[in-house]
Amino acid sequence: MDGEPQSDDRDFPGKIAPDLESLERRVRALRRAGRRIVFTNGGFDIIHVGHVRSLEGARALGDHLIVGINGDASVRASKGPGRPIFPAAERAEVLAALTCVDSVIIFGEATADRLLERLRPDIHAKGPDYGGSPPEIATVRAYGGRVATVGDPKGHSTSDVIERIRSGREAPAAAGEKDGRQ
């Protein structure tokens, strides 16, 4: 957190918030320092390029990116049996390792409304698959926040990656590639 307020680091010195109250203290310190807070959320079960592009796009909108990770039961309810592939604590650790991510919190609800109400980020960033209307849009508008669309078109999904692994299908060639060579 170079250049970021350090006054509340005693609550959690790393990027992974142990609880919402600790993250609220960090957000208050950031606001006192005049920082723009951006929030995004999702399951982030198997990190792929679509996630990275979305997270980098979200971080570019402000000074501090908070990522809310759906807990295991929430992912299971949304995606079905066999999911998540990785437990929430491991997903949080992977996201915290990314330089574009500043804070991470795991939450158990189906939507991030409670986190948004409490943290009140300046911007709630979501991928284009929500068409600019994420489930939490009413909450964000109620406190005066802004919703932004980030990332590339929904050409990547964890479900597709899992299916490709299970079926043994190869990854499609990236634009400009032939037989794996550029």
Is 125 a member of any domain?
yes
Is 110 a member of any domain?
yes
Identify the bridge partners of residue 68 per DSSP, sorted by sequence position.
Answer: 41, 105
Provide the domain limits for residue 120. 20-167
Which CATH number does the domain housing residue 109 bear?
A: 3.40.50.620
Read out DSSP for 131-179?
TT--TTHHHHHHTT-EEEE-SS-S---HHHHHHHHHHTPPPPPPTT-BT
Cβ(151)–Cβ(50) below 8 Å: yes
| Percentage of the chain exceeding pLDDT 70 | 79
User: Rounded to whole angstroms, how far apart are CA atoms 148 and 132?
Assistant: 7
Region of poorest pLDDT, from 82-86, 123-127, 131-135: 131-135
The domain tally of the chain equals 1
Average pLDDT score over residue span 132-158? 85
Is 162 a member of any domain?
yes
Cβ(121)–Cβ(31) below 8 Å: no
Residue 173 has pLDDT above 70, yes or no: no
Is 1 a member of any domain?
no
Mean pLDDT score of the chain, rounded to an integer?
A: 86
Is 139 a member of any domain?
yes
Handedness of CA 130, 152, 71, 158 (dihedral sign): positive
